[in-house]
Structure 1
Amino acid sequence: MAAVPQRRLALLGGGFSIDGDGLLDDWVLGQARTSRPRVCFVPTASGDAPGYVEQFLSAFRARPCDPGVLPLFRRELDDAALRTFLLAQDIVYVGGGNTANLLAVWRAHGVDRLLREAYDRGTLLCGISAGANCWAEGSHTDSFGPLTHLPDGLGLLPGSVCPHYDSEPGRRPSYRTAVATGALPAGWALEDGVGALFTDGRPTDAVTRTPRARLYRVEPDDDTTTAVEHPVPCRPLTPAAPRSEHRHRPPGTDE
């Protein structure tokens, strides 16, 4: 009997779009099931922003992988070809942008169902910001303007997700309130610089590219106005060689 593949996904608090050292992207590639993985970038949340796509291709063409892109706003593949393409990937890497719009577009094209199938077959799913939010049952987002809770997602990761926990004003108290009041289920809060790997819905690795960045498990407490944070130990990632630091976030990044 064939072995059942592990179902894995990674939440990223950084990557090629905001970090110059490439540590989190190298870590993601190191989780692949092959030494030269096929990596598909899905830029739906940014409206398939061309500059974001070029940034991905520039970063990953220099790495030991075969990068590709799945555009949906100018879709080129029919349903059969789309399924063949996605199921052939070793890693699906989802970019930042608007979480609510991302989910709506995916469902219109049936990409949500294909990603579930790829996940069940062992494809590593990952992403930053909206690309981290989308995998959970719910998330903390500014998809609608002000920070709020979005009780919607693919549900591949039990609970909720909050990105940019330390870098955007209001994120921390707003997410803790949403969890405390039951607007969102307990979940995971990522500070920028952190990567978290989940296998079959359970955390199996946590890393950081910066000394102070943390991953938190956030759960309700008896106090219904806030929630309890439980820091998760993160092992540091070490740069292979220095690279120039740059920071750029695509238009409308969530998020």
Structure 2
Amino acid sequence: MLREARVVVAAVRRVALLGGGFSTDEDGLLDDWLLDHARGDRPKVCFVPTASGDAPAYIDQFLRVFESRDCEPSVLPLFRRELDDEALRAFLLSQDVVYVGGGNTANLLAVWRAHGVDRILRDAYDHGTLLCGISAGANCWAEGSHTDSFGPLTFLRDGLGLLRGSVCPHYDSEPGRRTSYREAVAAGMLPSGWAVEDGVGALFVDGRLEEAVGTTPQARLYRVEADGDGGRGAGERALPCRVLGGSG
């Protein structure tokens, strides 16, 4: 008797880099775009505000915005943690979206590792949870990032490594970002990567760019790579972004 073949469907692994969202945008276009990519009709969306030290105002802002949307919002605090290890793992793996807030990238990674959150998020990624975030919440998914975690703008050769290369947020809005990031890539301090302007969303599926969107016609996502001729420079290439909201 032949056994019925079992078909195993691998989960699609996804990361979204956000140059905005509920904390900076009044139009809500990036958050709507994000939820359009979440699995399920009423996705579970967990906000992780570790990088801001679980700032209460930040948490309140997330809940105020997402409670008005067709989803099930929740928050994972770690500075006043309530869940034991087993419950923490079960909670995170039950989420459809993990939305990481901005703040200090280096502190975020250190706290996650102390609580084992980094390992759980790797498993969530492999099981199809959409991982995303703004600023530090975008930096954390890559191998390295451009950050002000230590005061001045610098490079951080640390991250979860779910997205190959490096990430630079606020590419157009913070003085010195563009020059400093390109210098770090040119010098080999950071691998080639993705520079995200404010108002941009970039979705990666299994590590490859699937879609880039912008809230304005001017918003851009850039690929920044070191010169391949032995020089000490780095070039940037603007990638097309679909404009959200039907404008442009």
Q: Please give the TM-score of this superposition, normalised by the length of structure 2.
A: 0.95
Distance apart, 1:2 and its partner CA: 2.0
Share of identical aligned residues, percent?
75
Q: Secondary structure at the match of 1:35?
A: coil
**Equivalent runs, 1:220-231 vs 2, <5 Å:** 220-221=226-227, 222=229, 224-231=231-238
Structure-2 residue corresponding to 1:32: 38
* Cα distance, 1:225 vs structure 2: 3.8
CA contact (8 A) 1:91 1:126 kept: yes
**Partners of 2:167 and 2:41 in 1: how far apart?**
30
SS at match of 1:2: coil
Bigger drift between 213-222 and 162-171 goes to: 213-222
SS in structure 1 of the partner of residue 39 of structure 2:
coil
Query: SS of 1:143's equivalent?
Result: coil
Asked if 1 retains the 8 angstrom alpha-carbon contact of 2:47 and 2:76, the reply is yes
Note if contact 2:226-2:232 (Cα within 8 Å) is conserved in structure 1.
Answer: no
Is 1:181–1:224's contact at 8 Å kept on the other side of the alignment?
no
Partner of residue 177 from structure 1, selected from 164, 172, 183: 183
- What are structure 1's unaligned runs of at least 5 residues? 241-255
- 1:33, distance to aligned residue in structure 2 (A): 1.1
Aligned-pair CA distance for 1:35: 1.3
Q: Distance in 2 between matches of 1:177 and 1:16?
A: 31
Given the alignment, which residue of 202, 205, 213 partners 1:199?
205
Q: Distance in 2 between matches of 1:112 and 1:133?
A: 14
Deviation at 1:80, TM superposition (A): 0.2
Matched, 1:162 2:168: yes
Kindly indicate whether residue 147 of structure 2 is the aligned counterpart of residue 141 of structure 1: yes
SS in 1 for 2:20: coil
Give the aligned length. Answer: 240
How far residue 226 of structure 1 moved from its aligned partner, in angstroms, is: 2.8
CA distance in 2, matches of 1:2, 1:23: 35
Q: CA deviation at 1:210?
A: 1.3
Secondary structure in 1 matching 2:174? coil
1:236 aligns with 2:243: yes
Report matched runs for 1:47-62 at 5 Å: 47-62=53-68
- The higher relative CO (CA closer than 8 Å, separation ≥ 6) is in 1
Is 2:61 aligned against 1:88? no
Looking at structure 2, the residues matched to 167 and 42 of structure 1 have their Cα atoms a distance apart, in angstroms, of 24
- How far apart are 1:127 and its partner, in Å? 0.1
Whether contact under 8 Å (2:38, 2:96) holds in the other structure is yes
Q: Are 1:152 and 2:168 an aligned pair?
A: no
CA distance in 1, matches of 2:50, 2:32: 23
The corresponding residue for 1:65 is 71
SS at structure 1 position matched to 2:245:
coil
* Aligned residues of 2:173 and 2:198 also touching (Cα < 8 A): yes
Whole-Å separation in 2 of the counterparts to 1:63 and 1:107: 31
* RMSD of Structure 2 on Structure 1 (CA): 1.1
Would the aligned equivalents of 1:14 and 1:194 in 2 still touch at CA under 8 Å? yes
Structure-1-length-normalised TM-score? 0.93
Equivalent residues in 2 for 1:1-40 (5 A)?
1-40=7-46
